[in-house]
Amino acid sequence: MWQHLYDELKNKGFMVVAVAEESRGAEHARPWIEQARGSGSSSYWQLIDTEHRLEDLYNLVNVPQAIWIDEQGMIARPPETAGSTDHFRRMNLETKTMAPEDQAARLAARQAYLDAVRAWVMTGEHALPPASARAGLPRVTPEIAEARARFRLGVWLRTHGRAEEGDRQMAQASRLHPDSWSLWRQAADLDEVGKASGPEFWKRVQELGDRPYYPPPKL
Amino acid sequence: MTKILTPIAEYDVPAQDGLWLDASDAQKVTGWTLKPEGMCRDERCVPMPSSAVSDGKVDVAAFWQKLGGPVIASDGRDVWALGAPADERNAALEGLQAPDFTLPDVDGTPRTLSQLRGKKVFLATWASW
């Protein structure tokens, strides 16, 4: 997804770190990674995060989310939706297609996000002053902290043949951290590939009502 | 052996009555060292009640909860997850220094975020699901 951006900006002191929140591991993620690499000569980091450690450290709730980090290792922009939009919610579920105007709007939003990243790399634009960066960080609550531990245990149990118990822990994790799409979608995917995009997913998305699935970045 | 999952690692250690570990295993798993003053790390010591320390062994579950971290046991109490306290995560993020981590790339090579100091880093998650 980021290969073009990386190819364009890699000589300007820019690096992409793409992290797969993928409890099924490297071999499961590999086809998408190979496809993303295409014919790029050098590549950015493609990391495999089976334990969702990044979501734990940075308090993430969905994919794709991105954090912008400056040359001193400081957070220039806190976690935000990385170029995706809610247009998919209007998709025709039978034909799996989007209206042309939605496709265009989706593409434009993604392009605007990539343009913003480019502007940041070239000029430093869009980097937030510390107070604003801090204000954009959602707080980790004791419930979220417990959800993380239960999810970690649940993934281990699931991947070591204790499916029922693992699912139970992951379900409790989701109840404790209902804002996280990753927790229950990963649990669903561990049960059955494809389940995370199945009828239950669409039901949960509908239940959002007016609330966004992908809150847009404040650029 | 009891398996303990911490935020960055996993360990197999002997444990009794829940999560009572030898002081050396407690140090390996938690990064804190048992001293007369309690469990200590760097300049900080957390006093331990006498009910949680005995004969060179530490009740790591009690200690971790004293730190404010979640402690979750499997049904059979053979696998435990120790989670980071919420306060620790918030303090790290509010300092605005991007929390460091090491993860394997798709070919298995470990990569550490702080190796990229000096570059602008776009850190993005994705998933096949």
ipTM of the complex: 0.97
Record the tokens describing residue A110, joined without a space: 């993604």
Predicted pLDDT at A39: 65
The answer on A148 and A87 residing in a single domain is no
Predicted pLDDT at A41: 59
| Residue A217 included in any domain | no
List all residues of chain B from 33 to 72 with a beta carbon under 8 Å from chain A. Answer: 68-72
The answer on A153 and A130 residing in a single domain is no
pLDDT in tens, A102-133: 999 999 999 999 999 999 999 999 999 999 99
Residues of chain B with Cβ-Cβ distance to A48 below 8 Å are 103-106
The answer on A106 and A78 residing in a single domain is yes
Query: How far from B82 is each of A181, A184, A218, B3, B9, CA to CA, in Å?
Result: 22, 20, 35, 11, 10
State the Cα angle at B91 between B90 and B97, rounded to 5°.
Answer: 105
Q: Which residues does B19 contact at the CB level (< 8 Å), separation at least 6?
A: B2, B4, B59, B60, B61, B64, B71, B73, B80
User: Which of A89, A109, A135 finishes a domain?
Assistant: A135
The answer on A7 and A92 residing in a single domain is yes
Contact (CB<8Å) A165/B84: no
Predicted pLDDT at A141: 98
The answer on A108 and A80 residing in a single domain is yes
B74 close to A (CB below 8 A):
yes
Which portions of chain B are predicted below pLDDT 50? none
Which portions of chain A are predicted below pLDDT 70? 39-42
Domain count, chain A: 2
- Measured between CB atoms, which of A19, A149, A189 is closest to B125? A19
Predicted pLDDT at A37: 80
| Residue A192 included in any domain | yes
User: Which of A95, A114, A135 finishes a domain?
Assistant: A135
The answer on A128 and A109 residing in a single domain is yes
User: Can you give the residue range of the structural domain that contains A43?
Assistant: 3-135
Residues of chain A with Cβ-Cβ distance to B112 below 8 Å are none
User: Which of A101, A135, A169 finishes a domain?
Assistant: A135
Predicted pLDDT at A36: 85
